[in-house]
Structure 1
Amino acid sequence: MYRLKYFVENQAFGVCARLGDKFKISTSSIRLYFIYTSFLTMGSPIIIYLFLAFWMNIRRYLRQRNNPSVWDI
C-alpha cells in the first residue's frame, strides 16, 4: 500500500505533501479539504492546485539550472 501511495504522490506533483510538510499538517487532511472545497466551489481549487504544481516544477528546473551536476556540463 505504501508503494502505491508513493507512486501516486509522485505522479500527482506532490503539492499536498509539500504543503503538509511546510505547515506541519497531515497530508491526508489537506487532501480531504481540497476535495471538499472542490465540490463546494465547483472545481475552482483545481486551478490553484495546477498553479502550485507548475510553480514547484519551475522552481526545481531553476535550481537544477543554477547548480548543474558534473554530467550536465
Structure 2
Amino acid sequence: MRFVIKLKYLFEKQGFHIASRLAEKLGMRANNVRLFFIYISFVTAGLWFGVYLTLGFLIKLKDLVRAKRSSVFDL
C-alpha cells in the first residue's frame, strides 16, 4: 500500500510540475493553466457526445425517408 501512495505522490508532483513549467514559459499563473486543461477536457468530451447524437439522428432520419415499400401502390 505504501508503494501505491508513493507512486500517486510522484504522479501528482510531476503533473503539477508540468503545469507550473508551462505557466512559467507562457508568463501566466499555474492555476489558470490547470483550469484550462480541466475545461478543455470537458469540451472535448461534450463535443464527441454531440457528434454521437447527430449521427444517431441522421441514421433515424435516413430510415424514415427510405422506408421499405413492397409495391408501387404503397405510396
Q: TM-score, normalised by structure 1?
A: 0.41
Q: If each structure's helix is expressed as a fraction of its own residues, which one has the higher value?
A: 2
Higher RCO (C-alpha under 8 Å, 6+ residues apart): 1
Query: Which has more radius of gyration?
Result: 2
Q: TM-score, normalised by structure 2?
A: 0.40
